[in-house]
Amino acid sequence: MLLDLMVIASIFIFFFISRNESLQYDKETWYQNTFSLILLFLFWVLLSGRTKIYNIPRNLTYTLFLERLLIHFLFFILGVRLIGKVSNNVFFNSDIYWLSLYLFIFIFLAKSLIYFAIKYLRSLGANYRNVMFLGDHQSTEILKNIFIDRKDYGYRIFEYESSDININELVAFWKKNGIHTLFLSMENSYGDGIENEIFKLAEDNKIHISLIPSITQSDFFLYDLGYIQTQPVLNQARYSLDYYSNFLMKRTFDIFFSIIILVLICSWVFPI
């Protein structure tokens, strides 16, 4: 995200200076452009929460990646046009099309380069994620084979040898191997008590659980259905604050609300 904002700022400043050399030292113009640039930053960050361009699963294809980027960019340009309509900034109204073209080219190249670089590094064994499987089933084997074949997904599988679940041994296994995700087959021989204990311990130890569903089961509530190639998996639903835009809005509200309380109430209750 920081790289994208730097690209936007660089292109914006370059266009303004190259086309308004006589206004380079005009303080009023720079103030107006700085405010407009901050609006662009905020709009870009808030929009990313909906288009999910920074919520990129490891198995996301390049086609879907470009689709998200294109949708995000189209909405962003629409926002820039709206800012130009309500702003007195001549720059937004005169150079908007060239600005849009340059933004799209540079951001497209930068994000594509990062996408393929990460894929390449993962295929070499870097930026991997430690995972394990519980429950032997055909769907489990299919998913294992996908991870083994697709090195660019960046998954490293650790086998849990014991057929019986010992809670203490399982937690020790997680800590020893740095397990990030537990793939649990929904067709397993564990009782409800064991499953509930696994979920509780996973939450306590910050282990992400993804369920490998069976087409004969339909109790999929509170989970997001996703696919790794052709194999469906159920991921725990994301909370509202997991999205960066919501997190940013909440943090901004917290800061402003705290300032208001300190200035209006605390200064009166606890005078200096």
Q: Convert the pLDDT of each residue in 34-43 to its tens digit.
A: 777 777 778 8
Structure tokens given for 45:
């960050």
Quote the pTM value.
0.63
The residue type of 124 is L
Strands (DSSP E) contained in the chain are 129-134, 155-158, 181-185, 208-212, 223-228, 231-236
pLDDT, tens digit (0-9, with 9 covering 90-100), for 186-223: 777 777 788 888 888 888 888 988 888 765 554 544 56
Predicted confidence at residue 137, as pLDDT, reads 76
Give residue 96's pLDDT band: very low, low, confident or very high (50, 70, 90).
low
Summarize the confidence of residues 127-151 as an average pLDDT: 86
List domains and CATH numbers for the chain.
2-123 (no CATH), 129-238 (3.40.50)
Checking if the pLDDT of 91 tops 70, the result is: no
Mean confidence (pLDDT) of the chain: 77
Checking if the pLDDT of 16 tops 80, the result is: no
Residue 154 Ramachandran class (φ > 0 left, ψ -120 to 50 alpha, else beta): left
- For the ranges 6-10, 204-208, 268-272, the lowest mean pLDDT is seen at 268-272
Query: Over the Cα atoms of the chain, what is R_g?
Result: 25
Predicted confidence at residue 143, as pLDDT, reads 85
User: Which residues are bridge partners to 132 per DSSP?
Assistant: 158, 182
Predicted confidence at residue 270, as pLDDT, reads 64
User: Which residues are bridge partners to 5 per DSSP?
Assistant: none
Predicted confidence at residue 93, as pLDDT, reads 60
Query: What is the rounded CA–CA span in Å between residue 223 and residue 215?
Result: 15
Checking if the pLDDT of 87 tops 70, the result is: no
Query: What is the rounded CA–CA span in Å between residue 195 and residue 200?
Result: 9
